[in-house]
Structure 1
Amino acid sequence: MTNYYLLWLASTAQLPFETGDPWSNVMSFCLAAGSPAMIAYSLTITILNRFWVRKSFGELQQKAQGPNVRDRYNEYAGRIRAAQYLL
């Protein structure tokens, strides 16, 4: 989660020091919120996180389908799918 919010926090934390009046701070915030670089960064992080989650939970799902785990914890595979969907 810090990857998503760190850039936004860093952008907004410096706004009061950039301009002299509150209206200019609002305008600077609007420009920062609409920045193409920030959108590209957020999209890249989202794609990389989705790839990582799919890979990690895919391996975990395969282990959960094994006979040892499936016999002892029959609901484990469903919970893994739910966690993967949430993430």
Structure 2
Amino acid sequence: MNAITDWLGGLSGPLVYAVVGALVFAVDALFFGFVLPGETAVVLGGVLANQGQVSVYWLALTVVLAAIAGDTVGYSVGRHFDPKILTIRPLRRHE
């Protein structure tokens, strides 16, 4: 965990916002939550905000907007592909 924090800490402020926002978006829209929880990215961003490397207000705004956008994209993908996804063999029993 320390290596990830050091890596994020080495990035400039806008890149930290972009990385944290992208991870939150990916968790909500692309179901990456199985691999990396979005909350972890937010907590790491909070650590950097506590260290004064980024603004907690801009970080919070980034996280909220990324979560809203990710949920919207995830809903749209599910709505569009729902009938087709449920016909895939491993998912038929969940129909």
Q: TM-score normalized by structure 2?
A: 0.40
- Name which one, 1 or 2, has greater alpha-carbon Rg: 1
